[in-house]
Structure 1
Amino acid sequence: MNTVWTLFLSNLRTKKIQNGLTTVLILLSTLLLSTAMTVISNTQNLFTDMHTKANGSHQILMLGNGLHDPIVFKQWWDEQQGVTASELIPYRNLSGITHQGKEINNIYMFMMDTAELPFTVDKLIWAQGDERSTPEVGTIWIPTSFFYSNGIEVGDKVSFKTGKSTFELKVAAVVVDMPFGAPFTRNARIWMNTQDYKDQFQSLQGKDMYMMGLRFDDYDTNTQYWDRFEKQAGTQYLEYKMEFESISSFYLIMNKVIGFVMIFLGAVMLLVALFTIGFTISDAILANYRTIGVLKSCGLSSFRIIGTYMSQYAFLSIIGIIPGLAASQFLSKVIVESSLSSLKTNRSELSMQGNFTALAVGICVFALVILCVLFYANKARSVQPVQAIRYGMSEMDSSKWARRVRSNGNRPVGFDRLPIMFVIGLRNMLKNVKGSILMFILTVITSAVLVFGFVLLYSVYSIQRTASSWGYDNSHIAVEVFNQAAFSRTQFEEDMLSDPRIKNFGWFGNVTGVVPSELSDRSGDSNTSSMNVYIGVADGNYDDLGYSTLRGANPLHKNEIAIGINVSKKLNKDIGDVITVYINGKPYSLIVTGIYQAISNMSYSARITIDVIKADHLDYSNAETYFINLHDSSQSDQVVSDINEQYKEALSALTQKTLLDSVFKEAVGLLILPMSMMGLLFIVVTCIIIYITCRINIRKDSKTYGIYKSLGLTSNRIRLSVAQGIVALSVIGALLGIYVGVYLLPMLLENILTYYGIVEVPLIMHWGGIIGVAVVSIISAGVGSWLSSRVIANTSPRILVIE
């Protein structure tokens, strides 16, 4: 045992740098994997815990078109066992809000007539302000998602536009509102005092709409309740319904993307670390072959020799894993709190869990390191003492080496005809094949990670160029009508047609459609259940408005419809199939002309033209949004200003860039930290592993480099030759890494986003930036190789030759 202990301490003392860098590799692998697992588990747990605490709804129903009697509808649900219905809350829509003289864009508000608390479903959880049963007169409660993203403070006053006038209310409290509190949401429930609600909206044209939440004891049984409702009511539910999947999706999507990518890259980093450890052990056995033979001849067993390596790397693993786990708790908390800030309150911080998960990750990493060490150190069993002492290697390897040396002089083309610096670098690569393969793989991975992170961030930041591929329009200006009573569609369209700056325009509204259950006509497919679908209605050409499809085309005629990819999957419908949709209680049989993807509504949506509805309602008009294209897009800001000034009582105009930035810049902000961290980690790992590998190779060839120096080559020329070989290899690896980062890694992202309605991630290739970040991996490789060769400069030729 003393011998093993002595060898163990000797390995720690004589290889300080190598051991330290190996420990860093294990630490970084543990950090990445543990952070990813903690982020994923906490995201789901925090949302679930808060949803349970609020007795959150599984479905939100909006009754605004008079297709169901709200009172009768509420009474029916109150009579059902196993489901709890919330209060029937009256509300009105608004889209104009101003804070400290600045208009807040792209926020669509439900102005709620607040019933007395507590609510039975979707309880409001106080984040800031005094908790009361109802808002006081002149005050409102706002959701955390709206509060944190717009810099509003408790006590601030905000102004709302109702058309001809505005009214001002003071923010008295901030609440966690689960159905409309997710990141990136553009909807917000504003909770008003009943008297304020009556004073502001009673005189306005239009009528109250109603909102109600349903919470099921077992959410999976909700279809049975709706089937019962259809049978008893004699009709499907015909108004808007928001499902639990939509409620939860944007709470979870960002951290699922981050976590999944981190797990994959963390696993890759761990594999690289294990391969590096294996390479180091294999090289150590070869370098100490004669020493191992002597130890065996003195009676030291193979098991104890293997135990020396296992104890060494077990110690290094513990040193690396413990701080890695500790750092992961801090990092995961930063990521989760930034992405789920809407669930945070002043009264209670987000309670991070996952200590057991992190511990399990640490144990797995430790076990994998030990198994890797055991596998590679087992080569010490094959060392034969006599052969080791005589040849310094096995007899077979000695024979191969002798044949290789004798054959060198017979080669028709030798290194003597090539430049000396090129020869030294090439020889270093060819002589150490395993190390060269490791460095090549590493530069491929590092450049792929850097390229993928850059492409993803750049694509989200520049989403204006690919808006149609995300399911949005691609027009220059969007005009939202918030006061129909003060809006004249005829006058507005005449003004648009007479403006020479405007190229084309069209209006876009929406209705709720219901697809009834039906027997599948495809063999092997199950029957489909009824579903509510968000249906866009356009008075104009979808292509002109900037809407695109994955397959097929947008609808043009009154018997056509385009459907979202998730609707297509759920209903087993494809291009050319006929689909029956109930709109305003009337069935329409429409031909599917196209299939598209849209992150909004998770692709549970469809598109039709106004002609579909006008076939039965000639006077139908539901102009909620106008999309306008200009001849010169640079005039967008001026046109927006002119429209807002002329129609300030009825509508709000915004540029497409403003609308998209209000949503996706938040996503960019959340992605920057984890993607930058992963890129930095891989740069550091590349430098570390190449340093270790080159250091091992230089130690093995120290006698050769001593001869080079004694023949007159300077240290810098030798070091530069070695670095040139590594850089040349990393250039090839970086080129392959660009391909992997651009074409293969995005497939991982598509696997996650498919659930959210995106099957083809719209990426923008900025090749200047792609090449620039790929070069960083090359620089990292060059720096690692240059630093590792300092031993050549710091050691005299005589000592190198003696070694």
Structure 2
Amino acid sequence: MYAILTLCFAHIKKRKIQNVLMAILIMLSTLLLTTSVTIIMNTNNIFEKTHHDSKGAHQILTMGKDIHNPITINNWWQEQQGVTASNLIPYRNLSGFTNGVKTSNLYLFMMNTPKTPFAIDRLLFSEGENQDYPTKGTIWIPTSMASTSNILLGDAIEFNTGEKAFTLSVSGIVVDLPFGGPFTTNARIWMNNSDYHKQFDTMIGSEQYMMALRFDDYQQSANYWKEFEKFLNGPYLESKMEYVDLYSFYLIINKIIGFIMIAFGIAMLFISLFIIGFSISDAILTNYKTIGVIKSLGLTSRKISATYVLQFGLLSVFSIIPGIIASTVLSRVIIESSLSYLKAGKHLTIIQDFRIIILLAVIILVIVILTAFIYSNKARHVEPVQAIKYGMSEFANHKVSRRSNNSNRFSNIVNLPFQLQIGLKNITKNMKSSILIIVLTAITSAILVFSAVILNSFISIKQNTPAWGYDSSHVVVTVNNDATFSKQQFEQFLRSDERIKNHAWLDQFTGVLPIEPNQPLNIHVDTIEGSFDDAGYETIFGLNPVNKNEIAIGINVAKALHKNLGDIVEVYIEGKQHHLIVTGIYQSIANMSYSARITADVIKVYNATYSASKQSMINLVDETLSAQIVDDLNNNFKSSVKAVTQQTLLDDVFKEVVTVFILPLSVIGILFIAVTFIIIFSVSRINVRKESGTYGIFKSIGMTSNTIRWSVTSGILFLSALGAIFGIFIGVKVIPVALQSIIVDYGLLKIPLVINWPITIGLSLLSVVVACLGCWISTKIVAKTSPRILLVE
């Protein structure tokens, strides 16, 4: 045992830098893997905890008075055993608000707040005093709205009904699960009862109602709905939000982050294992004569193998512990950032399940020890006689000679300069390390490229909005006040303006699709007066609807109904039954593709006087005039409409996503840049040590140290450039395809990417620069050492 310990610590002392770098690699692998596990584990747990603490709803129903009687429906649900139903909460709709100089375009539900705490769907206070209801002149707003619009307690917010404007101050910021997640375009504003009646009793239009349902056993909800629809003598024909709609977008970002971190954490672990094997093989080859002598003196192969196993086992233990500690900090930062909407108080309650983390640490340790054991078994094949004669096995000696000869022949054929020949020999004589460098720079390049592409895709979403399921119009106008709005005058203004190319009117209804008897699917139905194509809506299969018997459906609707192009869909809109032909299927992140598109002619089948007048989408001859058109429309129709650019709407929805993604992607990118530097430094150092005699001869015949270093670095430059090319392909093509398994449930069949090629190529070249820098620094030993010492070594 003493001999094993002596050899083990001798190996550690002899290669201090290499062992330190190896320890860092194992630590970073542990950091990424444990962080990803903690993120994935907490993403579900934090949402479930928040849903439990708030006695969260499983379904949200919204109703007017035109189709169903809200009071009758609420009474029926209140009588059911095993279901908790909230009271009806009245609300009015507004579009947008102004916070100082900033205008936001969220679709607002102005709620008449009942006394809290509610029976279900409770509000959890993130900031502000928890009171029974907002005091007069104040409101409570959701965390999502506060975060995206930079609203603080005490800020004054101005709302406009179209007839008048009024201002209320923020006295509370609350976690509002149903309407407070990422990608939301809605927000519930909780008002004092007297403020609500003062501002809205005289407002044109009808009051809407919202109620929440919480089931003792959510799995039994379908049975309740069968009984409910028997009571209605037909399907429920108004809006219904399901539990899956409530939680899905809280989880999507962290699922993507977790997937990326796990994938790259595993990649880093495999690279670490490869380096461990490479280091052991090199150590055995370097100390071949010594091992031969030791074996001839009676030390067994098993004990020699144990020295390497013990060495890397100790390195792993001292590396895994700081990796776990660092992961607790990193995971908290990422979770706090990505799930900030669920933060009720100063911090989220993050669960660190040390049983799982310790299990993962033990698995990493076992894998490292097994790898060390497998590679150290090469010491068993050391023959003392061959070791003393060749410094390696006879077979390996012939192999090295043959590879060297092949390299010389190739150099003679292409007639390369002498410096490049040195770099080429470095590549061909060390094939394993050459392959490692290509793989490593490919992975690092892929991470940097993918990070740049995914962030640029969100930042530049305006370039690819149709692929996300949105329109690509330049200006969007929302009608605030039907009483003061004249559609005829508005359209006359548009037609007389030469800057305007075309426009269309969009309205939205709730559609009900009877998938099975007593099991309807409630979806959003976009209705257009004009052309979907002119507005910029796209389909992934087929075409947008044009006629009154046609419909385009989202991919999740197509999947739920098992429908394809040309099939007939039965759908209820405003309580009227329609049978429509599927002309197109599209993807949309909005509403998770649980939506459909029809023309206004479908509504006119039962309502001949119908005219869409909720939202107008305007395209311009010159898009750069968008801001100018917005100002003109707001000035000319300020009492009835609100115009904004499409870019403003998209920024309100997606800017938070960019903020959340920046941190984890930056961390992963920086880690892999560091890993690339560490590994190439270590590999180059090993290769320089192998060729020290050759470099001593070069220096003794007059070749400068820098010339030798540039020659070695030229080989790394070639390998890393090759890896960077592969990395660009992986980052642009392979990783997005791998993410499809996650995003498809959220309504996207394919991630719409916007690639900025100069930035993409520039970042991929960063891995090349880091690789060359690692090699250049590692060869510094050539400059510091005299030719005589190099020859002796």
TM-score for the superposition, normalised by structure 2: 0.97
Note the alpha carbon deviations across 1:292-322, whole angstroms, 9 max, x for none: 1111122212221111111111111122111
**Which residue is 2:21 aligned to?**
21
Contact persistence 1:555–1:608 (CA under 8 A): yes
**Equivalent position SS for 2:428:** helix
Tell me by how many angstroms 1:403 deviates.
6.7
> 1:351 Cα deviation (Å)?
3.4
Query: Given that residues 415 and 423 in structure 1 are in contact (C-alpha distance below 8 angstroms), is that contact kept between their aligned partners in structure 2?
Result: no
Distance 1:724 1:73, change over 3 A: same
Given that 1:93 and 1:482 are in contact with CA atoms closer than 8 Å, whether structure 2 keeps it comes out as no
State the one-letter code of the partner of 1:30.
T
Query: 557-566 or 670-679: which moved more?
Result: 670-679
Q: Do the aligned residues in 2 keep the contact of 1:183 with 1:340 (CA within 8 Å)? A: no
The equivalences for 1:414-453 within 5 A come to 414=412, 417-453=415-451
Residue 523 of structure 1 is matched in structure 2 by none
Q: Which amino acid aligns with 1:699?
A: R
For residues 665-684 of structure 1, the C-alpha deviation after alignment (integer angstroms, 9 at most, x for no partner) is 21111111111111111111
> Structure 1 residue 631 and structure 2 residue 621: aligned?
yes
1:183 maps onto 2:173 in alignment: no
What residue number does 1:524 align with? none
Query: Structure 1 400/57 Cα, relative in aligned 2: closer, same or farther at 3 Å?
Result: closer
- The 5-angstrom pairing of residues 187-202 of structure 1 reads 187-202=186-201
1:627-649 CA-partner distances (Å, limit 9, x unpaired): 00111111110110111112222
Q: Check the 8 A contact 1:333/1:352 in 2, yes or no.
A: no
- What residue number does 1:460 align with? 458
Q: What one-letter code is carried by the residue in structure 1 that aligns with 2:278?
A: F
In 2: Cα distance, 1:10 partner to 1:564 partner? 66
Distance 1:260 1:700 in 2: 40
Amino acid at match of 2:541: R
For the residues of structure 1 that align with 2:345 and 2:683, how far apart are their CA atoms? 51
Do the aligned partners of 1:38 and 1:357 also contact (CA within 8 Å) in 2? no
**1:393 maps to what in 2?**
392
- Residue among 709, 715, 733 paired with 1:725: 715
Partner of 2:275: 276
Residue equivalent to 1:577 = 567
Of 496, 499, 502, which residue of structure 2 is paired with 1:498? 496
* Residues in 2 aligned to 1:413 and 1:745: alpha-carbon distance in whole angstroms: 38
Residue of structure 1 in register with 2:594 after alignment: 604
2:785 counterpart of 1:801: no
The within-5 A match list for 1:39-54 is 39-54=39-54
**Alpha-carbon contact 1:42-1:354 (below 8 Å) kept:** no
Percent sequence identity over aligned pairs: 51
Q: 1:62 to 1:5 in 2, by over 3 A?
A: same
Matching of residues 521-560 of structure 1 within 5 Å:
529-560=519-550
Alignment of 1:392-411 (within 5 A): 392-400=391-399
Question: C-alpha distance in 1, partners of 2:785/2:108?
Answer: 73
CA distance in 2, matches of 1:764, 1:409: 43
Give the distance between the partners of 2:82 and 2:407, measured in 1 at CA: 89
Is 2:764 the counterpart of 1:778?
no
CA distance in 2, matches of 1:249, 1:314: 42
Cα separation, 2, equivalents of 1:509 and 1:168? 28
Label 1:255 to 1:281 Cα distance change in 2 as closer, same or farther (>3 A): same
Alignment-derived partner of residue 375 in structure 1 = 374
The Cα shift of 1:698 comes to 1.0
Q: Find the aligned partners of 2:367 and 2:415 in 1 and give their Cα distance.
A: 47
After superposition, the C-alpha distances for 1:401-435 in whole angstroms (9 at most, x for unaligned) are 56778x77996973794321011111111111111
Q: Distance in 2 between matches of 1:409 and 1:145?
A: 63
Residue 259 of structure 1 is matched in structure 2 by 258
**1:706-749 CA-partner distances (Å, limit 9, x unpaired):** 11111111111111000001101111111121111111111122
What is the alpha-carbon distance in structure 2 between the residues aligned to residue 447 and residue 184 of structure 1? Answer: 30
Q: How much does 1:782 deviate? A: 0.5
Give the corresponding residue for 2:469.
Answer: 471
What is the DSSP-based 3-state SS (H/G/I as helix, E as strand, rest coil) of the residue aligned with 2:566?
coil
Letter aligned with residue 59 of structure 1 = Q
Q: How far apart are the structure 2 equivalents of 1:348 and 1:449?
A: 30
Residues paired across the two proteins, number? 793
Cα gap change, 1:259 to 1:410, in 2 (>3 Å)? closer
Is 1:488 matched up with 2:486?
Answer: yes
- Partner residue in 2 for 1:9: 9
The answer to whether residue 512 in structure 2 is matched with residue 514 in structure 1 is: yes
Pair 644,24 (structure 1): closer, same or farther in 2 beyond 3 Å: same
Please give the alpha-carbon distance, in whole angstroms, between the structure 2 residues aligned to 1:71 and 1:509.
Answer: 27
- Residue 348 of structure 1 and its aligned partner are, at CA, apart by 5.4
Amino acid at match of 1:448: A
**Relative to structure 1, is the Cα distance of residues 190 and 410 closer, same or farther in structure 2, using a 3 angstrom cutoff?**
closer
> Could you tell me which amino acid in structure 2 is paired with residue 444 of structure 1?
A
Find the partner of 1:595 among 585, 592, 598: 585
Helix, strand or coil at the partner of 1:110: strand
Q: After the TM superposition, which of the residue ranges 312-321 and 456-465 deviates more from structure 2?
A: 312-321
Q: Distance in 2 between matches of 1:128 and 1:413?
A: 71
C-alpha separation in 1, matches of 2:617 and 2:375: 65
- Alpha-carbon distance in 2 for matches of 1:404, 1:70: 84
Q: Which residue of 1 aligns with 2:667?
A: 677
The RMSD of aligned alpha carbons is: 1.8
Q: What's the CA shift for 1:5?
A: 1.2
Q: 1:248 to 1:409 in 2, by over 3 A?
A: closer
Structure 2 Cα separation of the partners of residues 181 and 462 of structure 1: 24
Partner of 1:69: 69
Q: Which amino acid aligns with 1:125?
A: L
| Contact kept in structure 1, 2:291 and 2:382, CA below 8 Å | yes
SS of aligned partner of 1:393: coil
Q: What secondary structure sits across from 1:475 in the alignment?
A: coil
Counterparts of 1:425 and 1:356 in 2: how far apart (Å)?
49
Deviation at 1:339, TM superposition (A): 1.3
In structure 2, relative to structure 1, the CA distance for the partners of 1:643 and 1:374 (3 Å cut) is same
Q: CA deviation at 1:192?
A: 1.1
Gaps of 5+ in 1: 520-527
The separation in 2 between residues aligned to 1:723 and 1:387, in whole angstroms, is: 33
Q: After TM superposition, list the pairs within 5 Å mapping 1:290-301 onto structure 2.
A: 290-301=289-300
In 2, the alpha carbon distance for the partners of 1:232 and 1:409 equals 85
- Aligned pair in 2 of structure 1 residues 466, 444: CA closer, same or farther (>3 Å)? same
The question of whether the paired residues in 2 share the 8 Å contact of 1:564 and 1:597 is answered with yes
For 1:360 and 1:63, the matched residues in 2 are separated by: 51
* Residue 788 of structure 1: how far off its partner (Å): 1.0
Q: Kindly tell me: are residues 390 and 511 of structure 1, through their superposed partners in 2, closer, same or farther at Cα, counting changes over 3 Å? A: same
Moved more, 363-372 or 633-642: 363-372
What letter matches 1:23 in structure 2?
A
Q: In structure 2, what residue type is equivalent to 1:608?
A: I
Structure 2: distance between partners of 1:623 and 1:751: 39
1:18 match: secondary structure: helix
Between the aligned partners of 1:502 and 1:409, the Cα distance in structure 2 is: 68
Deviations 1:96-146 (A, max 9, x none): 32223x243121111111111221111111222222212222222212221
Counterparts of 1:718 and 1:416 in 2: how far apart (Å)?
Answer: 20
Say if 1:237 and 1:420 are closer, same or farther in 2 by CA, change over 3 A.
same
- Partner SS state of residue 530, structure 1: strand
Residue equivalent to 1:148: 147
